[in-house]
Amino acid sequence: MRRAAADHRLSLFLTSPIDCGYLAQRKAKALVVDPEHPKDTALYSLLSHIGFRRNGASIYRPHCEDCQACILVRIPVAEFRLRRKHRRVRAANRDLTLRILPAAFDERHFALYEKYLGARHPTSEMNEGNAADYREFLFSPWCDTSLFEYSIDERLIAVAVIDRLTDALSCVYTFFDPEHGHRSLGSAAILQAIESAQESNLAWVYLGYYIPESASMRYKANWLPQERLIEGRWKRFEKESQAAVGAAADEEGDVNSER
């Protein structure tokens, strides 16, 4: 199915339904920007404001029948303040070395990615992928993407894939050594993204889709203040009692562009 965007210059395609990767017994569909349409950071940034995300070279937005569970979340970084739990995460990871690298395939990264999936998501179809699938999922020829690489004594323990938009950073996917799960490395990566966005005078950090009914996505409610795209409007949430729907204070999940 083909749809025209409001400015009549951008075609969107509706995908066929597939099993939802987050909510059991539900089907998922998405609107996908025409694969033949030229893409760049400016277009991606504009579409992010109306709920789109990147998966590989594709730009998409969930468009499911009778379901609006996927809610795009972003953090207004100028207003973000460290809380006690954030300081604990920073203290636990003060021995990490960070390198920010251009997006490129690295065998070490791919090995860590496979180790992470095997431990944290053993039943996921992503475990069946190969190096080509990894590249197709995370990288894009048109997007300004960086790899935030974290190590201890030159041992790689985490990688965060981050897109640079015109006005924001967008967290695509974070994977880490499950042997270091006690460090809350996903949270550490978000804190670093916020700090990097602040230093670059960007307005937001996008966390992807918050899905209240999905245990692996509830952690996104904990990052406050935040803005959620609800019925086409960005709504602000400032208090945990207001923002959390089943979100444990220290729960950590994936930061990814699958959803």
Dihedrals φ, ψ of 183, to 5°?
Answer: -80, -5
Let me know if residue 253 belongs to a domain.
no
Residues 234 and 148 in one domain: yes
CA distances from 236 to 44, 52, 148 (A): 22, 19, 28
**Structurally, how many domains does the chain consist of?**
2
Residues 178 and 121 in one domain: yes
Going by the DSSP 8-state scheme, the letter that residue 174 receives in this structure is: E
On whether the pTM is more than 0.85, the answer is yes
Let me know if residue 252 belongs to a domain.
no
Separation CA 188–CA 92 (nearest Å): 9
Picking from 40, 70, 100, the residue at the C-terminal end of a domain is 70
Residues 63 and 79 in one domain: no
Residue-number span of the structural domain to which 175 is assigned: 72-243
Residues 126 and 233 in one domain: yes
Residues 52 and 104 in one domain: no
b (16+ CB within 10 A) / e for 39-50: beeebbbebbee
pLDDT of residue 21: 87
* CA neighbor of 180 nearest in space, from 153, 209, 162, 142: 153
pLDDT of residue 164: 99
Residues 28 and 81 in one domain: no
Residues 163 and 227 in one domain: yes
pLDDT of residue 241: 62
Are 227 and 99 in contact, with CB atoms under 8 Å apart?
no
Residues 81 and 47 in one domain: no
The CATH number of the domain holding residue 201 is 3.40.630.30
Q: What parts of the chain have a pLDDT lower than 70?
A: 1-8, 123, 127, 240-259
Let me know if residue 254 belongs to a domain.
no
Residues 86 and 153 in one domain: yes
Picking from 19, 49, 70, the residue at the C-terminal end of a domain is 70
Residues 134 and 239 in one domain: yes
Residues 42 and 65 in one domain: yes
Let me know if residue 251 belongs to a domain.
no
Residues 147 and 169 in one domain: yes
Alpha-carbon radius of gyration of the chain? 18
